[in-house]
C-alpha cells in the first residue's frame, strides 16, 4: 500500500486507523498533509484538527495535540470526542486534575446528547 492510500485510510476514521500500519515517517507525512489543508483555509473542520491531534499523539507530541483538539472545540464546543481527546492529552501531560474535570464534562455532554 503506498503512502497516499495509507493517508486516505487513516483519515477515513478511527476504524481505519486501527488497521492501518503507521510508521513514524507516515505520521509526519500525515501531519504535513493536514497542515497544508488547515493553512490553505479551504476547510474549517473539527475533524481535521482531531486527526492532526491523533497524529501528534502517535509521535509523542502531546502539547501540540492538545492545541489542536482545543481548536476543534472552538469550532464545535458540543462535540464530546474533542473533550475525550483533550482529557487524554492532559493525562499524558501529567495534568491529572484538569484531565478529570474535562473527562467529567465529556461524560456529562454525552449523557445530555444521547438523552435527546
Residue 89 is predicted with a pLDDT of: 93
Domain 3-114 in this protein, CATH class: mainly alpha
CA 56 to chain centre: 8
pLDDT digits (tens, 9 = 90+) for 10-47: 444 444 444 444 445 566 677 677 667 667 666 667 88
Q: What is the pLDDT of residues 61-107, one digit of tens each?
A: 999 999 999 999 999 998 999 999 999 999 999 999 999 999 999 99
Instruction: Write the pLDDT tens digit of every residue in 85-98.
Output: 999 999 999 999 99
User: Which value, in Å, is the radius of gyration of the alpha carbons in the chain?
Assistant: 15
Closest by CA position to 65, among listed 90, 30, 40: 90
pLDDT of residue 52: 84
Q: Which three cell numbers stand for residue 115?
A: 438523552
Query: 102 — phi, psi (to 5°)?
Result: -65, -40
Amino acid at each position: 500500500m503506498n503512502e497516499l492510500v495509507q493517508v486516505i485510510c487513516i483519515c477515513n476514521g478511527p476504524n481505519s486507523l486501527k488497521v492501518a500500519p503507521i510508521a513514524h515517517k507516515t505520521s509526519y507525512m500525515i501531519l504535513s498533509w493536514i497542515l497544508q489543508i488547515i493553512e490553505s483555509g479551504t476547510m474549517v473542520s473539527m475533524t481535521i484538527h482531531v486527526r492532526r491531534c491523533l497524529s501528534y499523539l502517535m509521535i509523542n507530541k502531546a502539547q501540540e495535540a492538545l492545541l489542536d483538539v482545543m481548536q476543534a472545540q472552538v469550532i464545535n464546543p458540543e462535540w464530546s470526542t474533542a473533550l475525550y481527546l483533550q482529557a487524554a492529552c492532559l493525562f499524558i501531560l501529567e495534568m491529572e486534575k484538569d484531565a478529570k474535570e474535562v473527562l467529567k464534562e465529556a461524560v456529562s455532554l454525552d449523557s445530555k446528547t444521547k438523552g435527546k
